[in-house]
Amino acid sequence: MKLNKPLVSVAWLKTNLEASNLVILNASIPKVSEKTAMASDESLIPYTRFFDIKNKFSDTSASFPNTFPSEAQFTREAQLLGIDCDSCIVIYDDKGIYSSARAWWLFKAFGHDNVAVLDGGLPEWNKLNCATENYQPFQGKSGDFVGVENKKLMKFFEDVKLETQNASHIIMDARSEERFNCLVDEPREGLRRGRIPNSVNLPFENVLDGHCLKKEDDLKRLFSKFANTNDHITFSCGSGITACVLALGAQLAGYKYLSVYDGSWTEWGSLTSS
């Protein structure tokens, strides 16, 4: 089974739940500002495998959170989840569309395009009264997935430093308007207020309609206020999570030249003083 879009509906997933090459991943993480725990291991989508962004699919030895893993690490952990080169991967999270977009982007960044986000995630699945089951750790055989990094999709500090001086690149910040305009403290303790020079602000919530992404026509109108479809856009946020929500929305809106700044404001604000 092959996917032709980066987003699938609950109805589509329910219909294709038994497809032989389908892999369903739960990529839920808590928000930095969240005081409550993630959804429990109960009442998840059937056949769920846990995509552990924080501990398995990030470089935990790095100075900043959610750091892009190596090819070797990503390949190893994906194989342990039973993922094959021909797997059709659908990713969800417990907030609707949040960290699932980061997992989607990671697969794309390691050369796997047969991957999509579940529109509305677990909340939408539950809203439509679809079947659920308790989580069981994956115990099947290892897959044959091999990640090959697409260096165009992830940007790092020196890349973005150059982009701030290049009018042909757009840096789009997914943080809230209040954070972008330095009106409130950052949720991450000790991180200064600020924004990347010459960046523009599109809060990631603005591409959502409740738990789901806005319709494609609405996304096109929204992104057209900032960029043309042939522009090169680098997305940033706090630590590389919600930047990927904008990347998902932009791809659906027809934008082709997209990248994500891995360290985002956590790195930029730590390595620069103004």
User: Would you give the DSSP letter of residue 42?
Assistant: S
Catalytic residue status for 237 = yes
Inter-residue contact 117 to 7 (CB < 8 Å): yes
Catalytic residue selected from 85, 88, 130, 237: 237
Inter-residue contact 222 to 207 (CB < 8 Å): yes
User: Which position has the token pair 């090459």?
Assistant: 21
User: Which position has the token pair 């997992």?
Assistant: 103
231: which 2 tokens?
Answer: 């522009």
Question: What dihedral angle (degrees, nearest 10) is formed by the CA atoms of 245, 250, 252, 254?
Answer: -170
Q: Measured between alpha carbons, how far is 29 from 19 in angstroms, rounded to an integer?
A: 27
Q: Which of 261, 196, 266, 269 is nearest to 233 (CA)?
A: 261
Q: How far is CA 189 from CA 33, 47, 110, 266, in A?
A: 10, 37, 31, 10
Inter-residue contact 194 to 182 (CB < 8 Å): yes
Q: Which residues are catalytic?
A: 237
